[in-house]
């Protein structure tokens, strides 16, 4: 990936030697520099010493649960964390996301899919650095300063709650946002298990934003986990 002269450092915390060796080969000419760790403890030490730009974290580590690594990292750093988890580990990935991980990818994954997720993470790092009041992606444009939303240049009206929900998805665009995160931030902590609110309001948003709300292209459902705004 070319991104000016910037090379992003990716810390890989993974005990599966086959995955590490695959990524080592692939990253060699990708514009990302790979830092390797094979346990949670090594990963935490490398995060402190090497200051990676992105952390790629396996959930099943020989010295413990990757969720604990997320919790420890979030004590002091905002570096994007991308979880790698097995198909059977829904609960683990939801806990990791709720603990502050940014996104997940399910094993076995294609390298192409992984690179797309890494590019999303890079985009978020850049957005954080340039903090613009205007967001634009595909047909969607938002002016955060004035709370205007346009779809294909047409101004769309939202209720305050709908706007709050949409702007949260936009803030995390391309990344999954869990049910719990959405409920907590939009409705409040006491509502974080009330997922029926979400279903109803996502329906309202889709009706306003999707040409065919029943097969959404913009607000994607991540089964059992949350929602993702496509970019």
> Which of 26, 39, 42, 60 lies at the binding interface for Ca ion (CB under 5 A)?
60
Does 15 interact with Ca ion (rule: CB under 5 A)?
yes
Q: Which stretch binds Ca ion (CB under 5 A): 15-23, 70-78, 141-149, 218-226?
A: 15-23
3-state SS, the chain, equals: CCECECCEEEEEECCCHHHHHHHHHHHCCCCEEEEEECCHHHHHHHHHHHCCCEEEEECEECCEEHHHHHHHHHCCCCCCEEEEEECCCHHHHHHHHHCCCCEEEEECCCHHHHHHHHHHHHHHHHHHHHCCCEEEECCEEEECCCCEEEECCEEECCCHHHHHHHHHHHHCCCCEEEHHHHHHHHCCHHHCCCHHHHHHHHHHHHHHHCCCCCCCCCEEEECCCEEEECC
Q: Between residues 94 and 169, which has the closer beta carbon with respect to Ca ion? A: 94
- Contacting Ca ion (CB under 5 A), which of 23, 34, 46, 58? 58
Nearest approach in angstroms of CB 58 to Ca ion is: 4
Q: Which stretch binds Ca ion (CB under 5 A): 13-21, 42-50, 149-157, 186-194?
A: 13-21
Q: Applying CB under 5 A, what is the total number of residues that bind Ca ion?
A: 3
Q: Does 89 bind Ca ion (CB under 5 A)?
A: no
Residue 31 CB: number of other CB atoms within 10 A? 16
Q: Is 210 in the site for Ca ion (CB under 5 A)?
A: no
Q: Which stretch binds Ca ion (CB under 5 A): 39-47, 50-58, 151-159, 168-176?
A: 50-58
Q: What minimum distance in Å lies between the beta carbon of 61 and Ca ion?
A: 6
Q: Which is nearer to Ca ion, 60 or 213 (CB)?
A: 60
Q: In angstroms, what is the minimal distance from the CB of 38 to Ca ion?
A: 9
* Interface positions with Ca ion (CB under 5 A): 15, 58, 60
């Amino acid at each position: 990936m070319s991104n000016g002269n910037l090379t992003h450092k990716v810390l890989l915390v993974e005990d599966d030697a086959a995955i590490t060796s695959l990524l080592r080969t692939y990253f060699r000419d990708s514009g990302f520099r790979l830092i390797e760790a094979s346990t949670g403890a090594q990963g935490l030490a490398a995060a402190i010493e090497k200051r990676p730009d992105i952390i790629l974290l396996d959930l099943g580590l020989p010295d413990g649960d990757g969720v604990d690594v997320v919790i420890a990292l979030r004590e002091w750093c905002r570096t994007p964390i991308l979880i790698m988890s097995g198909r059977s580990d829904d609960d683990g990935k939801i806990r990791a996301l709720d603990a502050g991980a940014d996104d997940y990818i399910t094993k076995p994954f294609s390298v192409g899919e992984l690179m797309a997720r890494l590019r999303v993470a890079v985009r978020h790092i850049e957005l954080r650095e340039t903090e613009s009041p205007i967001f634009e992606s595909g047909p969607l444009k938002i002016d955060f300063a004035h709370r205007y939303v346009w779809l294909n240049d047409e101004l769309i009206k939202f209720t305050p709650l709908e706007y709050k929900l949409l702007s949260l998805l936009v803030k995390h665009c391309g990344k999954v946002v869990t049910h719990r995160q959405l409920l907590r931030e939009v409705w409040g902590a006491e509502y974080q298990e009330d997922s029926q609110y979400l279903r109803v309001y996502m329906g309202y948003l889709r009706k306003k934003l999707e040409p065919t709300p029943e097969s959404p292209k913009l607000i994607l459902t991540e089964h059992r986990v949350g929602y993702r705004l496509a970019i």
